[in-house]
């Protein structure tokens, strides 16, 4: 059991954590949250494929969601460069690999049972929409009932209003530095804030690019 108290805020600097091996040679994982020590765990991890490594064919029971952070991720259906967002719904399967190596943010077995839409988005080619305040841009990635997933780009010295997270909020900082009144969150920081938590986020001179999920923690105990 790792970070399974969903009533507490969790902040992890993933670059400072020690990766662990996987069942496949050349594939390592940095664990952020995990409900059991098995290959059937509900989990959020940073996965690194070394060059010419692969993972055996597997079925995505309860879904797989991933964002390619570095390099090119591949499977028998295509090649996915850094910036690609993928959702593989329940009972899909594939045999992933990487020719030159890659790093991924991966969430396993966390789909709503009725959320069966497959999504593949190369975010490098998608337009940005205006955010709720000046200096903020948003790229929606997926929405299903209470769950919302997006990239959010913060210009330097941008402030957002004080707000509450109905259903919680999860952030992975992709570039720059993200701040709120509770701390400073540099690149590769993972933040999970519980249902009805509050904060007032902002950026300073370097701005930030963040991957954000909201609403998906509503029924977590």
pLDDT in tens, 69-120: 999 999 999 999 999 999 999 999 999 999 999 999 999 999 988 999 999 9
Q: What are phi and psi of 129, to 5 degrees?
A: -105, 150
CATH superfamily name and code, 10-122: Jelly Rolls (2.60.120.10)
For residues 55 and 96, what is the distance between their CA atoms, to the nearest angstrom?
A: 5
pLDDT at 221 over 80: no
**pTM for the predicted model, two decimal places:** 0.97
pLDDT tier for residue 39 given thresholds of 50, 70 and 90: confident
Structure tokens at 20: 């662990």
* Of the candidates 121, 119, 139, 142, the residue with the CA atom closest to the CA atom of residue 129: 139
Q: Give the Cβ contact number of residue 122 at 10 Å.
A: 14
Could you state, in order of their start, the residue ranges of all structural domains in the chain? 10-122, 127-214
CATH of 127-214, one of 1.10.260.40, 2.60.120.10, 3.20.20.70, 1.20.1070.10: 2.60.120.10
Burial of 193: CB neighbours in 10 Å, binned 0-12, 13-18, 19+ = buried
Do 81 and 122 contact (CB within 8 A), yes or no? yes
User: What pLDDT digit, counting tens, does each position of 107-142 carry?
Assistant: 999 998 899 999 999 999 999 999 999 999 999 999
For residues 108 and 12, what is the distance between their CA atoms, to the nearest angstrom?
A: 18
Q: Give the Cβ contact number of residue 120 at 10 Å.
A: 12
Predicted local distance difference test score (pLDDT) of residue 38: 82
127-214 and 10-122 share a CATH fold: yes
């Amino acid at each position: 059991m790792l970070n399974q108290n969903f009533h507490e805020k969790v902040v992890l600097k993933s670059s400072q954590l020690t990766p662990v091996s996987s069942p496949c040679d050349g594939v390592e994982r940095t664990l952020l949250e995990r409900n059991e020590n098995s290959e059937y765990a509900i989990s959020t991890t940073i996965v690194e494929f070394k060059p010419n490594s692969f993972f055996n064919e597997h079925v995505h029971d309860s879904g797989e969601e991933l964002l390619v952070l570095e390099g090119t991720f591949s499977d028998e259906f295509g090649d996915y460069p850094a910036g690609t967002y993928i959702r593989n719904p329940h009972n899909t399967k594939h045999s992933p690999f990487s020719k030159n190596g890659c790093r991924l943010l991966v969430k396993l077995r966390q789909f709503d049972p009725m959320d069966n839409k497959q999504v593949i988005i190369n975010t490098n080619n998608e337009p940005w929409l205006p955010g709720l305040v000046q200096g903020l841009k948003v790229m929606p990635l997926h929405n299903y009932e209470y769950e919302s997933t997006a990239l959010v780009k913060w210009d330097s010295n941008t402030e957002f209003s004080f707000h509450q997270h109905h259903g919680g909020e999860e952030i992975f900082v992709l570039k720059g530095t993200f701040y709120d009144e509770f701390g400073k969150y540099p690149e590769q920081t993972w933040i999970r804030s519980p249902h009805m938590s509050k904060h007032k986020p902002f950026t300073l001179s370097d701005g930030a690019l963040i991957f954000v999920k909201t609403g998906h923690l509503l029924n977590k105990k």
